[in-house]
Each structure stands twice: as structure tokens, then as C-alpha cells.
Chains A and B, each alone.
Chain A
Amino acid sequence: MSTVRDWAEPNPVTENRTGLIGKPVDRYEGRLKVTGTAPYAYEVETPSAPLYGHIVSSTIARGRITAIDTKAAESAPGVVLAWSHLNVPEQAARGARINPRSQRGANPALASDRVEHYGQSVAFILADTPENARAAGSLVRVAYAEEPADLDFLASLAKAGPAPGEEDARVGDFEAGYSASEVTVDGTWFSPLQNHAQMEPCATTAWWEGDKVVVHTSIQMVKGGQHALAETLGLPSDRVRLFTRYIGGGFGGKGQSYDDLTLAALASRASGRPVRVAYTRQQMFQATIHRPAVQMRVRLGADRTGRLNAMAIEAVTHCARNAPFVEHAANFARNLYAAPHRLTGHRLVRLDIPHAGAMRAPGEAPGMLSLECAMDELAETLGLDPIELRIRNEPEVDPDNGKPFSVRQLVRCMREGAQQFGWDRRNPVPGAVRDGRWYVGMGMATAIRGNFLLPAKAGLRVTGDGLATLTQGMTDIGTGTYTILAQITGETLGLTLDKVRVELGDSDMPPAPGSGGQFGAATAGSAAFETGMVMRRRLAELAAGDPASPLYGEDPTLMDFANGNIVLGNRSASLAALAGRAGPEGVYVEGSISPAADARDWSQHTYGAHFAEVGVDSVTGEVRLRRMFGVFAAGRILNAKLAKSQITGGMIWGVGAALTEANPVDPRFGSFLHQDLGGYLAPVHADIVNLDAVLLDEADDKANPMGIKGVGELGICGAGAAIANAVYNACGVRLRDYPLTPDKVLAALEAKGL
């Protein structure tokens, strides 16, 4: 096993001689996307004309199907088949695994008469056209025996239990430390249930080739999808070929497969035809995962100088009754601020609603909405600038475990951000700045998000035409994977980008863990880098051993790669010629990355600071962003343009979380109030005014051989808190109940007599 010291040697990426690393090149697949020719899962060409599936959803939260009548649907125009739990083909039991290396268990659809949440699949129609399938779906008649259900999170707090397998993290004696503190803050924040609302609904196109099923589906994890389907169908994994080449947004919500995948595969087998199945937008809300609501009690105790003496975040969140998931809203605090007395932990309420799951920056995204506002309150109580308060609490080592930081530029993020944003123009007195009928205020918050490296592989082929083709069972969910892998491969082999091809999203390719947890770039990228290094060695050995090569007989370890050639002194051999002579298939190698044995001896995170200026309408309580700026430190940046897009995208998610996004469960039905994009308010263009970010120079030599880290989730962390703090600075209203919608702001203004 390698150690981080093995990564310290200079390598082609860290030397970056041709400058591809960091270069703001256009997206590799950009031309396909701007011309509408990138085929998403529902859109791939099928071997013959497809049939269309439509899923029928339950309208109760919990209970049993006592009768289901699909006869009218079966005899409707164009209908090929109609399934319920009574006649769906046999599938493995939920969670079953026959393949020992499966990452996921079986995930059967229409498996029984049980209904476990509103919107669960209860029937499936296959028809000749989408119109006929959907119309027939409404002819299915279902009778239920409803059972009592727990649907109201806040009304069920008393039922909260420990998070499975977890204990509270206690350092010192929080209660004693808190009560002995000179200055305290004690508040309870609420972050509501939110939906991913990816623009592309979940969709699958499936067909069978003999005893093997080919599926194109929209999923972030190639192997996860392949294994789940194989287990569901009771097949060896190699009889499921899964493609996921273009994905219309994931954000964690497509980390798993859903019934579209299962039912498309089953229906294709039953009908002998290719089948397309897509979720409706309403089903996306009701039948995929969501970010659960979190209630967070935060208590801070400090001395008069602002040094934290005690810090607690006690989070209560929820998940589906039979699908444990914990939104770890308190964990980030353990690494962010030091205090001698600390308490952080989570409690879980089991509800009969759809599954809770990971959504962009799970944990930090809701969690920082509490602590970073509590710090703002503490700063105000102490009469300190919020940045100064944080600097006074900046730890020397990771407060959670005493480990040294690999690199931590949090203070620099705050200082540079303050300078560029004009933080010194902030009036610390709330409500002091007006612009017409608008109260105007500024707020800031920090950002922290972990960095991760997972095992991954990649394949690389160099062919006689001089092209290098990287293949990986990895995904690009809009994050830029195609592009950065091309840049890494090009820089490693000394090739220009026009000589590099990247192919992703195929379960037959060397596996990578997929996109999630902002581990994608570091993980897939490091595997691509290592594979490039394997290729360098292989090609150098070929050059040394090939009598036709100008470098015949030379020492391969001294050879360099540049401009499509292997170079030694003033002699060179072209990659194209070497690969061409090696055979018609060229040269193929595989490589892999694994976490270094000692990687966890350092605390590795990405950091940032957000600055926001908002207006609050003094008449109506509407909050509008006026400008927002962030400074971030996230290792070496592979592509300045794409990294910034990731970061600003995350910041905008923070704007949504702060101001508009929430989906309450209607406790009478178990359904979400909002089941479409007209009701669930993701930010639109007009919400996002003058928003920008910069990324600091950084290289984290403890992270991976390239010193890169993830950027996909960092931008959302803390962003909403900066906005809430700006709202307070604008109008003096502290709201701890997100989102800060006009009704809440206005009620608070009225309560203040404003």
C-alpha cells in the first residue's frame, strides 16, 4: 500500500509542463450538449422500435393494497401489459444478494401488497405510445387498507431515537463548560425537507440481447446500478450491461436506481421489445429520495474575547421507517471550531414517507445553516466582527482528532473574501442601511467540506492514429469528469487535447465509484493519472525494446513525454508509431488508485468563505440577493472554468436553501405539498444577481498524487447562512426557520413594529 510520501515526487501533473492542468478549456462533451446531440438515457437509439412504460403510484402513505384492478388498463388502446404486485414477474427479495461482490442488494418493484410511502409504485403499464401508457395508467383501480402512519416530523420529535451505530461525540463536559461560559448563544434552527429537482427525470431504456440485458439509465454510480439490477433479476452481474453516459443532473438523488430501471428491464424481457420508462416530474418528487428536514439546537459558550469554551449541535432528523439514513448535520462542526467542551450528535425519527437520502453536501448543507448563524449571533453579542470571531477560534490542529491539517486556508479565504467583497463597508448595526423601500445588509459564513479518495480503476489505450482513449466506469453528472480526465490524460502522456478521448458510463469499463460526496474528481482523476503513468512506463519500455524505435536500447526510466512523442535528449519516438507497431489494437493498460495507508493521519478538507448582500423589502418581507461572493480553497484546480462553475452552482443551491426551497409533508396524506417545479421553488435566473467566486492557489500533497480535491459540494456549504446573516444585518430579524420566505420575514418585521 502506498503512503502519501509516494505522492510527493514531482509528476507530470504537478509539473504541468504543457499547462493543461488548470487550463480553463471548454467542456469535452460541450459541443454535444449545446447541439442537443448528447443522448441521455431515455434518448438512446434502440435496436428496434421501443414500447413505453408508465408507473402508477400509490395515493396512501402506509397500508396494504386490498384489491387492484388492471383489467380496464389492459384492454385500453395500445396496452401491451399491465402489472401490479399480483402479476409482476418474479424478482429477488429486497436486499437479497447472490453475487458475493455486489455493492447493492435487490431492489424489486411492485414487490408486495405493502405500501410504505405515498407515491410508491403500485402498477405498471406498457403500451405502444407514451400517451396510451399514461392514459391507461389512470384506469388502474386500487383499493387500500390504510394503516396509521407517522408523517409529521416536528410532531414526532418525541419518537426520536439514536442514529443507528452512532454515539454522540463528547469532548470535555459540555454542560459544565456551557454554564460556566461568560457569553452564550442558544438557538434552534430548522432546515426543511428539500428535493434534488434534477432537470432530467429518472429514466431507463432497456433491451435484451439473448440472456443479457442492456440498460441505459440515469444514475451516478455505474456499479451500483448494475449490481442492483442484477440482484433484482437474480442474474450474475456480467449479464447486466449498464450505460450512463450523460446524466441530466444527479446531486445525490441518482446515487441509486429506482423502479424505472427494474421495470424497464422486466418489461423488455416480457415483451421482447426495447422499453423506455421515465418518471414523471411528480414522481420525481414523490418517489425518489429527498434531503430530510433537520432540527438543530446549537449552543455556544465563549469568554469575553470570543474564545469558544463550549459548543453543541444536537440534530434531529428523519428517514423512512425501513431505510435508515442520517443527515449528519452536526459532524462538520467537529472539524471547524475548537472548544474544550463539545457535544455533537444526531437523533432519528422514522417516518412513513419516501426515503431520505444524500443530497448535495449531505450534513454540511443543512448543518452549516445553524452553526454559522449562531457564530454570527455570538459575534454580535460580543461586539466582534464575525470574521474576527472566527479567526480567534481558528484551531492549530483538527479539533476532532488532533491531527495536523494537510492544508487549511480558511482564514485566507475569509480575509481575501472580505477584501474583495468590501466587507469593511458593512455597517454592523442592523437596519442601518436603506435603499428606497429596501433594507440592505451584508453577511458572511464559512464553508467546510471533507475531501475523500476512494479506490478506482481506469483503462487507457493508445492507438496507431496517435489517439489516447481513457475508459472508466465513471460518470459525469455535469461536474466535468469527461473534461478533467482528458486534461489529466493529456498532461500525463504529453498529448494535446485533440489527441485524447474519454469514454465513461459503461459497466464493462474499469470501475470507479461514480459521482458523489465531491470525491469524483480526486478519485476518478487519480485513477486516470495512475493509469497514464502505467501507460508511460509501458510505452517507454516498448520504445526501448523496439528495434524500429529511435530510442531502441535506451533506459526507459530516463524518457520523457511531450508533443505526442517519447523524448530522450534530441531523439524521439512518436506514440502513434509505437502503438501502431504494437498491434492493431494499439497498447492498452489499466491502472488504479487506492487511498494511501497513512492518508488519515492528516485532516483533509476543503474550505471557503461566503459573503452576501441582500435586500429585504420593508413592505412585504421579500428577500432578494443583491450580490454574493465566495473564496474557496480546494487543492490544485484541474480546470479553472469548470471548477468555478461547480462552486458557483453550489452557492446558488445555498441561495435556494436560504430563501425558497422547502417541501412540507402534508400529514393528512403523507404526500409532499409541492409535486412539481411550479410549487417547489428552485432558484431561477432572476434570483441570482452578481454572484461570483474565486479559488485560491493550493495543492494538497496529502490528498492524492495530483494534490487535487473536490469542489462539487463545497459551494453550498455555509452559503445559505451567509444570506441569513445578511438578512439580519439588513433588517434586524433573526430567523432560524429556513427558508426565509416573505411570510416569515414579514411576521418578524411586524413583531418588531417595523
Chain B
Amino acid sequence: MKPFAYERARDVDHALSLAAANPGARFLAGGTNLLDLMKLEIEQPSQVIDVGRLPLAEISETPSGGLRIGALATNTAVASDPRVRSRYPILARAILAGGSVQLRNKASVGGNLMQRTRCPYFMDSAKPCNKRLPGSGCSAMEGLAMTFALFGASEMCVAVSPSDMSVALAALDGLAETVRADGSVSRRPVETLHRLPGEAPQVDTDLAPDELILAVELPPPPEGGQAWRKVRARASYTGAIASVAVAGGQVALGAVAARPWRARAAEEALASGASPFEAAASELAHAAGEEGRKALVRRLAADVIREAREGMGS
């Protein structure tokens, strides 16, 4: 790990001013992803701003009947919240499918949103990787990894987002609320918080260096059933090969893109009366990549949509 200056933020303004003063700084919440990457020297912040004790862990009702989840609520706290469990069961399920209890006890909602890809070539600093070292090339493109993007990839990068939670949040139309040092507050859909790689895969999100996630806001859950499923070789404690979250007519796919992938084509097909299988197929018609992986996502999406409709899910 490269040496860095450690600063514990006294309050949000303090955190933001520190960040504004040092573009090489990183916010540290639970640390489960940032410290992992710092040990591998994939992240080399000159300063770490510990925001972990800021009072941003509250989960509260919104006037519109939704839920506002503080960015520092732990993954465990969110999945255990009775309101989440009853109204947004796919969010609880998606969170509980990720990592281990130990990790979820430490990891925050904001940190989960910001976690970086786990592409094995990104994680190995000896390998070319455009996300880690712009212009060095993409080792994954011709590589051995099984999990690569079906949607929104570029010639520069095929990495996928590892977050299960984000998939549910995207299906639920979650918004990430952020604030910058100048006081400006923004709200971005979780769905598009992450950029697609394009020509600059090294930039994960549009967030400015001095921009801190304050909360995730969920509108009231959409009408209709919810269902979640995650595919993996090992029964637990491993990343998704693919995942699907369905809330009413809203469908999001996980581990298939650099962001949680809202399956808009599938949603439109469903809205116009298509069967779950037809809807899934219409989404996958836009996918690029290996046929087996497309087949998996198509079958999975169709089955999870069916499950949500039949009210069997969650």
C-alpha cells in the first residue's frame, strides 16, 4: 500500500472541503473495496478521507411514500430494515446475495455503489488494463474470464459492475443523491450513475472528485410482483455470473454491463403484451458476446420475470 494521509471527516462540509483541496483524495466509508484495491496498489490515493462516522446512516420514509437510505447505512442495516423487506424485497435479497455477512456488516450503501469492477485483469496490476492504466490495452477481451459485458462494452473495456445491490436499485428506479463542496446537490438514477466504458473506461462515474453520495432514494415500489435471482458457480460468497431484478414491469440485469442494466427493450415488450421469454429475447437481441452467456441471461430474465408476475418471488 502506498503511503497516504488519513483524515477523519468531522462533518460533511469538512469531508467535501478536504476532497476539493486534493483531487488525489478518496472517500473511505466501510473500506471493503477501497482498501482491497489499495493493498494491490490499484488505488493509490494520496489522502484518505474517512467519512465512516458521518451521520448519514439513517433510513427514513419520504413524503412521496418512498424510502431514503443514508449512504452510510450498512448493507446489513438496509437488508434488515423491515420497510425494505416488506416493500422492496428485491433490494434486501440482492444485498443478501452479495459478499459475506462480515463484508455486508462493514460495507455501506454508498460504497457499494462506488465499488469497482472485479475483472481479474483489472485486479492484477501486472496486466494491461485500460481501466487501470489507460492506453495499456484490455486483457479481458481475449482473456479467460467468464463474466464480461454483454451490453454497452467498448473496444477499450468489457468489465462489468460487480454490485448486486445496484441491480435491485436500478430496477426500483433508485436515485443517488450527491453533494459537492460548492453545496450543489444532484440526483442521478442509479441506473446511469456509472458510465459505459466508451473511450475512457478509467472513469467509472460522472461524480466529481469532491462529490459525495449522501443517500439513495427509492420511489414507492411499482405495482406488481418483485423477484430477484443471482447465478453463480459457488452457492455463496462469490460474484454473480448474471443476476436479474424485476419490480413490476421494471427489469434490471446484473453482471452484464459496466452499470446495472435496465432492460428497456424487455420492459417495452412486456408493456405491449409480450411473454416473459419474448421480452427477455428482445433485450438479448441487442447484446454482444458469446452465445452461451446470452442464453443464460435470456433464460434467467424470462424466468425471473415470470416468477415476479406469478407472485412467487421474494
Contact = CB atoms under 8 A, between A and B. Distances in A.
Chain A in direct contact with chain B (Cβ < 8 angstroms): yes
Interface of A: 59, 77, 131, 134-135, 138, 437, 619-622, 624, 659-660, 664, 666, 668-669, 671, 673-676, 678-679, 681, 683-687, 739, 741-743, 746-747, 750
B102 to A, nearest CB: 13
Interface string B227-264: 00001111111110100000000000000000000000
Nearest to A669: B127
B139 to A, nearest CB: 7
Given A664-B144, A742-B241, A743-B146, A687 B299 contact: no
Given A669-B139, A684-B237, 10 more contacts: A135-B3, A620-B296, A621-B296, A622-B233, A674-B120, A681-B233, A683-B234, A686-B234, A746-B299, A747-B292
29 contacts: A77-B3, A131-B1, A134-B1, A138-B2, A138-B41, A437-B303, A619-B300, A620-B296, A621-B296, A622-B231, A622-B233, A669-B126, A671-B124, A673-B144, A675-B124, A676-B123, A678-B118, A678-B239, A683-B234, A684-B235, A684-B237, A686-B234, A686-B235, A686-B237, A742-B231, A742-B232, A743-B293, A743-B296, A746-B299
Contact of B145 (A77, A673, A685): A673
B268 to A, nearest CB: 23
Contacts of A135: 1-3
Given A669-B127, A684-B235, A742-B241, A675 B120 contact: yes
A673 B3 contact: no
B236 A686 contact: yes
A134 to B, nearest CB: 7
Contact of B234 (A59, A134, A687): A687
Contacts of A437: 303
Contacts of A687: 234-236
A620 B235 CA distance: 13
B37 to A, nearest CB: 12
A372 to B, nearest CB: 22
A649 to B, nearest CB: 17
A126 to B, nearest CB: 18
A407 to B, nearest CB: 38
Contacts of A742: 231-233, 241, 296
A198 to B, nearest CB: 18
B234 A619 contact: no
A67 B303 CA distance: 57
Contact of B126 (A59, A619, A659): A59
Contacts of B235: 624, 684, 686-687
Interface string B155-191: 0000000000000000000000000000000000000
Contacts of B65: none
A437 B303 CA distance: 10
B293 A684 contact: no
Query: Which size bracket describes the interface of B in this complex?
Result: 20 to 34
Contact of A750 (B237, B238, B295): B295
A678 B144 contact: no
Nearest to B239: A678
Contacts of B232: 622, 742
Contacts of A678: 118, 238-239
A207 B126 CA distance: 33
A578 B126 CA distance: 66
A684 B234 contact: yes
B67 to A, nearest CB: 29
A148 B41 CA distance: 29
B295 A746 contact: yes
A287 to B, nearest CB: 13
Contact of B231 (A620, A676, A681, A683): A620
Interface centre among A131, A134, A684 (most CB of B within 10 A): A684
A608 to B, nearest CB: 25
Contacts of B238: 678, 681, 684
Interface in B68-125: 118, 120, 123-124
Interface of B: 1-3, 41, 118, 120, 123-124, 126-127, 139, 142-146, 231-239, 241, 292-293, 295-296, 299-300, 303
Nearest to B40: A282
Given A131-B1, A674-B120, A660 B145 contact: no
B241 A743 contact: yes
A37 to B, nearest CB: 22
A131 to B, nearest CB: 6
Contacts of B303: 437, 619
Interface centre among B120, B293, B300 (most CB of A within 10 A): B120
Report which residue of B234, B239, B296 has the largest number of chain A beta carbons within 10 angstroms of its beta carbon.
Answer: B234
Nearest to B162: A678
A318 B237 CA distance: 31
Q: What are the 7 tightest A-B residue pairs by CB atom distance, in nearest-first order?
A: A686-B236, A686-B235, A59-B126, A619-B303, A681-B234, A687-B235, A673-B144
A669 B299 CA distance: 35
Nearest to B231: A620
Contacts of A619: 299-300, 303
A686 B145 CA distance: 24
Nearest to A77: B3
Contacts of B295: 746-747, 750
Nearest to A119: B126
A614 B1 CA distance: 44
B292 A746 contact: yes
Given A621-B296, A743-B292, A746-B296, A685 B120 contact: no
Nearest to A57: B126
Contacts of A666: 139, 143-144
Contacts of B127: 669, 671
A620 B300 contact: yes
A671 B123 CA distance: 13
Contact of A668 (B142, B233, B237): B142
A669 B139 CA distance: 10
Contacts of B139: 666, 668-669
A122 B63 CA distance: 62
Contacts of A138: 2, 41
A660 B2 contact: no
B129 to A, nearest CB: 12
Contact of B236 (A134, A685, A747): A685
A59 B126 CA distance: 6
Contacts of B143: 666, 668, 673
A668 B124 CA distance: 14
B297 to A, nearest CB: 10
Contacts of A746: 292, 295-296, 299
Nearest to B36: A678
A659 B139 CA distance: 26
A159 B77 CA distance: 57
B233 A741 contact: yes
Contacts of A675: 120, 123-124
A676 B124 CA distance: 10
A620 B3 contact: no
A230 to B, nearest CB: 34
A741 B293 CA distance: 12
Contacts of A624: 235
Contacts of B300: 619-620
A679 B233 contact: no
Contacts of B292: 743, 746-747, 750
Nearest to A664: B144
Contacts of A668: 139, 142-143
Nearest to B118: A678
Contacts of A679: 120
A440 B143 CA distance: 34
A684 B236 CA distance: 7
Contacts of A683: 234
A686 B292 CA distance: 26
A448 B144 CA distance: 34
Contacts of A674: 120
A724 to B, nearest CB: 15
A620 B299 contact: yes
A131 B303 CA distance: 49
